[in-house]
Amino acid sequence: MERGRVTMDRNADAPWSKFDPEVYVDNNYRTPLEVDLLIVRLMRDHFGRCFSGGVPDSVRGVDAGAGANLYPALSMLPWCEKILLLEFARPNVEYLERQVSSGGFDTAWDAFWDVLREAPAYAAVEPRSRFGEIVRVERGNLFDLDGHRRWDLGTMFFVADSMSECPDEFKRGVRCFMNALGERAPFAAAFMKESVGYRVGDHDYPAYRVNEDRVRESLAPFTAELEIHDLHHMVRPGHEGMLLALGRRNSEVAVP
């Protein structure tokens, strides 16, 4: 434990009401990082393979813990009839609501769409109008999902590992996300590898340290298919890279 650092063992201890989404976007996405463009490319190709046999009617997507990051939702755009951005921190909810307004999403996200539209299914979509039509924002806690609602496609980026220092809350977060997915639902989930926490503006936020084995162990009970990409890109001090998990849900039976 660093001297002077505030302990945030559990999710409820973190200062989510003070999270600054504009600073977060400026630090992470305003100038696209190569690792994020790689993640977008891998996610695009994964979803394309999953829907190569055709897109079922009424596909509903969810981005659990969306935060101030639109590229997971953009990656679901061609496949979904509706997309829900679920987010707990009020400043992030307000940021997301601005992104789905009639003015369209911020130009910071165009670089990520440029990567997505290299695939024909994405090139056929006009992203801003489609985003405004099918995406809605809901304030809610990841822990409240846990099988109460089911989606056909899902993403969870830097959430279960970046909201608490508690191993039980990490496992619960993964379980709640996976139990929110229907049978054979494609998913993408990303984690900061060996993160010791992070700072946004003037405030510190917690993390649970994960590696590839820990991520695989947490996801394996829920998955029919699973591949984990260990991306050795450092984007800030205090972590050792990123992990991207791509796969499909195994069944509709909730795993305890």
Domain with 238 in it = 11-49+58-249
CA dihedral for 181, 184, 190, 194, sign (positive or negative): positive
CA 145, 174, 32: angle at the middle one, nearest 5? 100
* Mean predicted confidence (pLDDT) in 98-120: 95
* Mean predicted confidence (pLDDT) in 233-250: 81
Q: Cα–Cα distance between 132 and 83 in angstroms, integer?
A: 10
pLDDT at 2: 41
Which phi and psi angles does 183 have, rounded to 5°?
Answer: -60, 130
What's the pLDDT tens digit per position in 192-222? 886 665 566 777 767 788 899 999 999 999 9
Is residue 179 in some structural domain? yes
Which phi and psi angles does 36 have, rounded to 5°?
Answer: -70, -40
CA 230 to chain CA centroid, Å, is: 16
Q: Where are the beta strands (DSSP E) in the chain?
A: 60-64, 82-87, 135-139, 153-157, 186-192, 198-200, 203-205, 223-231, 242-249
Q: Cα–Cα distance between 108 and 93 in angstroms, integer?
A: 18
**pTM summary value:** 0.90
Is residue 29 in some structural domain? yes
Q: Cα–Cα distance between 239 and 194 in angstroms, integer?
A: 5
| Number of residues that make up the chain | 256
DSSP secondary structure, 151-172, as one string: BSEEEEES-TTSS-S-HHHHHH
Is residue 2 in some structural domain? no
Q: Cα–Cα distance between 73 and 244 in angstroms, integer?
A: 16
Q: How many domains does the chain have?
A: 1
Could you tell me the two tokens for 118?
Answer: 């290299």
Is residue 210 in some structural domain? yes
* Mean predicted confidence (pLDDT) in 86-112: 95
Is residue 89 in some structural domain? yes
DSSP secondary structure, 184-218, as one string: T-EEEEEEEBT---EEETTEEE----B-HHHHHHH
Paired strand residues for 243: 191, 230
| Position 19 confidence tier, pLDDT thresholds 50, 70, 90 | confident
Is residue 170 in some structural domain? yes
Is residue 256 in some structural domain? no
pLDDT at 91: 94
- Helices and strands (H and E) in the chain: how many: 9, 9
Is residue 134 in some structural domain? yes
Radius of gyration of the chain (CA): 17
Residue 84 near residue 136, CB atoms below 8 Å = yes
| Position 172 confidence tier, pLDDT thresholds 50, 70, 90 | very high
For the chain, percent of residues with pLDDT exceeding 90: 64
CATH code, 228 = 3.40.50.150
* Mean predicted confidence (pLDDT) in 49-74: 94
